[in-house]
């Protein structure tokens, strides 16, 4: 498959994933500010076991196409690309957040937080910080047997590793999913094709999965396991249910990712759902820019009291977080100004231009 070709269901899956990511940040932010929970809290909790696993699995699907390329080209596409946008949007986020940090802790602390963000990823940007780490690590271990790397990654996911370092903790908890996407990509594509051929069977499976998944997520685990689960409670919608247990969390992550892949395979066939495919093709645009419309809408709704229900507020903030970056992207494309926000310029490349031609749009990389 050519590197630049797009697969409709993969983009649709990315669209579903980015909506769930924005939903999580929006809902937890609203509930923290409001001091109470709404109905969206339970939606976020339900999606937690598979929200990021699916995003990482999808991110690994095409890694096999580029992993053997010369190191310079590999690093340009899989490291420098994300590093450029991380530095750019880290700086943009701090331009908005530094005054509040300085007001509470002083400008020295604000500057220190900015510098620290180059070692420990900042806020919502941790995903694109870790992706290059995952890509380079996969290339370094690609000569090892697949079963060995998978077993090691699965063990890291199961262990209660809570060092306080985002890089270490998220690597241990998430790498297995990207490796599954990379190592078993052909099986993932075959599954998507199978779903399209047997949609009725798949939807029946989805119903059974949703019942079992919900039971494991919302049934409290025994008190004896609280010490194991405690570091995760209250983080990203965790409930402390059986879904947090070793092995169970991995199985739920993979099963949930399979459901998202299957739903995306069906949605991409429906013309009214083509917006989801477009959104997924530009998912990183939303990922980078959603923080500002999300925060602005949250403050507006909570301070004005225009909407009383916390769940509805969270839903509206989620909508703003998804639509806002799309509007910004459209304005950039229409005006021609600010393309550097979503398009890596030539100077931010380590490949020669005669190797790659004109700078590629961010959505295509």
pLDDT at 289 > cutoff 60: yes
- Which residues, other chains included, contact 49 with Cβ-Cβ below 8 Å and sequence gap of 6+? 213, 217, 243, 249, 252, 253, 256
- Which residues, other chains included, contact 95 with Cβ-Cβ below 8 Å and sequence gap of 6+? none
Task: Output the pLDDT for position 328.
Answer: 96
In this predicted model, what pLDDT tens digit does every residue of 60-112 receive, in sequence order? Answer: 999 999 999 999 999 999 999 999 999 999 999 999 988 888 888 888 888 99
Nearest CA to 56 among 261, 285, 217, 232? 261
**pLDDT bucket at 353, cuts 50 / 70 / 90:** low
Q: Which of 118-132, 150-164, 194-208, 210-224 has the lowest mean pLDDT?
A: 210-224
pLDDT at 235 > cutoff 50: no
Backbone angles phi, psi at 184, to 5 degrees: -120, 30
Please check whether residue 148 is in contact with residue 27, taking contact to mean a CB–CB distance below 8 angstroms: no
pLDDT at 129 > cutoff 50: yes
Please check whether residue 325 is in contact with residue 289, taking contact to mean a CB–CB distance below 8 angstroms: yes
How many whole angstroms separate alpha carbon 233 and alpha carbon 229? 7
- Is this model's pTM higher than 0.85 or not? yes
In this predicted model, what pLDDT tens digit does every residue of 294-322 receive, in sequence order? Answer: 999 999 999 999 999 999 999 999 999 99
How many whole angstroms separate alpha carbon 49 and alpha carbon 217? 8
In this predicted model, what pLDDT tens digit does every residue of 199-211 receive, in sequence order? Answer: 999 999 999 999 9
What residue has token string 């262990």?
159
Nearest CA to 242 among 218, 210, 266, 209? 218
């Amino acid at each position: 498959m050519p590197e630049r070709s797009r697969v409709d269901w993969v983009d649709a899956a990315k669209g579903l994933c980015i909506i769930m990511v924005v939903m999580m940040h929006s809902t937890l932010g609203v509930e923290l500010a409001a001091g109470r929970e709404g109905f969206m809290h339970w939606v976020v909790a339900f999606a937690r076991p598979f929200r990021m696993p699916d995003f990482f699995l999808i991110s690994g699907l095409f890694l096999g196409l580029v992993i053997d390329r010369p190191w310079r080209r590999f690093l340009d596409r899989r490291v420098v690309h994300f590093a450029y946008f991380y530095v750019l949007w880290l700086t943009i986020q701090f331009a908005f957040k530094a005054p509040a940090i300085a007001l509470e802790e002083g400008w020295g602390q604000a500057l220190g937080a900015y510098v620290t963000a180059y070692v420990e990823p900042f806020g919502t940007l941790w995903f694109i910080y870790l992706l290059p780490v995952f890509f380079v690590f996969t290339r370094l271990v690609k000569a090892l047997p697949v079963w060995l790397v998978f077993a090691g990654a699965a063990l890291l996911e199961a262990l209660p590793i809570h060092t306080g370092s985002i890089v270490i903790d998220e690597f241990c908890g998430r790498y297995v999913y990207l490796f599954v996407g990379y190592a078993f990509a052909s099986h993932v594509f075959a599954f998507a094709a199978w779903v399209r051929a047997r949609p009725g069977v798949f939807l029946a499976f989805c119903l059974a999965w949703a019942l079992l998944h919900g039971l494991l997520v919302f049934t409290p685990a025994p008190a004896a396991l609280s010490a194991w689960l405690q570091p995760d409670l209250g983080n990203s919608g965790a409930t402390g249910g059986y879904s947090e247990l070793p092995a169970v969390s991995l199985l739920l992550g993979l099963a949930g990712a399979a459901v998202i892949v299957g739903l995306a395979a069906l949605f991409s066939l429906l013309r009214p759902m083509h917006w989801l495919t477009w959104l997924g093709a530009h998912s990183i645009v939303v990922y980078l820019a959603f923080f500002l419309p999300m925060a602005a809408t949250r403050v507006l709704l909570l301070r004005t009291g225009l909407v009383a229900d916390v769940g509805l507020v969270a839903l509206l903030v989620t909508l703003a977080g998804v639509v806002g970056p799309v509007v910004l992207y459209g304005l950039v494309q229409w005006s021609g100004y600010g393309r550097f926000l979503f398009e890596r310029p030539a100077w931010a490349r380590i490949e020669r231009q005669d190797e790659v031609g004109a700078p590629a749009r961010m959505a295509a990389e």
